[in-house]
Structure 1
Amino acid sequence: MEIQIHVSAPRFTPRWWTQFLQNTRSDLLAEPWRVRLDRFPSRNIPHNTGDVEVSHLALEWLNTCRSHHVTCDVVDETRDSEFLPPRLLKVSNKESQACQLVVSGEGRLVKGTRYVALSHRWGGSSPTMTLTTSSIDQMKENIPLSDLPKSFREAIQTSQRLGFQYIWIDSLCIIQSGPGSEVEAAEDWQLHSTIMDLIYANCELNIAVAHASDSTKGCFVDRDPEFIQTQREQN
């Protein structure tokens, strides 16, 4: 495994930092016992990671990667720009409250279609909705987002905000065992188990729900903005 780190050097020293150092130097010379209480210029960081502003920032980072990080496309030699998983979920637009299952071999997807992949923990039980042989036809027509567990809904919402129309979620894109679908589920898992690395390697973005114990907990969390405060450059 190869890990590459991209480091961007600051273009200049922010004026507020230079001024702060000058004030600190003066204090040390005149009153060395004094502790400055200056507050650095801060960003408006939302209290919850599900805030739309968080998605806007993530989109900025993603566009920067697309435009400037030339090594990201060649970091893994197994990447294939034309690869498609056997199935994907399609979400039409930001206002859509439904998605639908799309099969690659049925002519509705073109090679090179950009998609998001979801990583999540199953926990002690299966998600409330899964793909089975009995549900596949209905899922090709319409899947109300309200029928999906919270983590899936929020992952789809994030994909919409970032401008993606397609997302891969294992339990909704791989046939799961159920009444009358045991054989098909075994065969479908056998196929997907051989290309799982390609599904994740060739997605443009991976959403990892690392904190949740199962799919009902959701993608987003509350946080303390002061704890993660960063500095805003001032000219």
Structure 2
Amino acid sequence: MVIDVQAACIIECPPQAPYLALSYQWGSDQKQKLRKQNKHLFETPGFLCSSEGSPAQTIIDSINVTQQLGHRFLWVDALCIVQDDPTSILKNVDMMDQIYLGADLTIVAAA
């Protein structure tokens, strides 16, 4: 899964699509997380721009940077890994090095 910054929703990453990744500490402002029960909302175009779907400021800033750099896709663990699905967590944690390695650029948001 990746964030489609043009459609403001999450989608399955198209094969070989270039993407950026965000490395950050979640902190206390982590408002939104992808879960089984809300996945359909996050897959709805425009959801991340809605008041209900608005993510943490760090993620909003990273979406803006992704757009400004002319990229369409952004990987963020909180929104691209189903946080209450052990299979999704295990699969993505095992691949995390490849996710960051495969990114065209990793945005690092240091506190």
Q: TM-score, normalised by structure 1?
A: 0.43
Whose RCO is larger (CA < 8 A, sep 6+)? 2
Give the alignment partner of residue 166 of structure 1, picking from 50, 69, 73.
73
Q: 1:148 to 1:188 in 2, by over 3 A?
A: same
> Per-residue deviation at 1:112?
1.6
Q: Which has the larger radius of gyration?
A: 1
Report percent identity of matched pairs.
27
User: Separation in 2 of the partners of 1:90 and 1:130?
Assistant: 16
Q: Secondary structure at the match of 2:8?
A: strand
Report whether the alignment pairs 1:205 with 2:109. Answer: no
Report whether the alignment pairs 1:190 with 2:90. Answer: yes
User: Separation in 2 of the partners of 1:174 and 1:190?
Assistant: 10
Report whether the alignment pairs 1:120 with 2:27. Answer: no
Q: Deviations over 1:43-99 (max 9, x none)?
A: xxxxxxxxxxxxxxxxxxxxxxxxxxxxxxxxxxxxxxxxxxxx111012xxxxx61
Corresponding residue of 2:5: 91
> Per-residue deviation at 1:144?
2.8
Aligned-pair Cα RMSD in Å: 1.5
Contact 2:48 2:55 in 1 (8 A): yes
> 1:132-143 maps to which residues of 2 (within 5 A)?
132-142=35-45, 143=47
- The number of residue pairs the alignment matches comes to 107
| Residue type at the aligned position of 1:91 | V
Q: Deviations over 1:2-23 (max 9, x none)?
A: xxxxxxxxxxxxxxxxxxxxxx
User: Separation in 1 of the partners of 2:41 and 2:100?
Assistant: 26
> Per-residue deviation at 1:126?
7.0
Report whether the alignment pairs 1:149 with 2:52. Answer: no
Structure 2's unaligned 5+ residue stretches are none
Contact 2:42 2:48 in 1 (8 A): no
Identify, as 1 or 2, the structure richer in strand.
2
> Per-residue deviation at 1:148?
1.4
Q: 1:126 to 1:154 in 2, by over 3 A?
A: closer
Q: Secondary structure at the match of 1:117?
A: strand
Structure 1's unaligned 5+ residue stretches are 1-86, 93-97, 178-184, 213-235
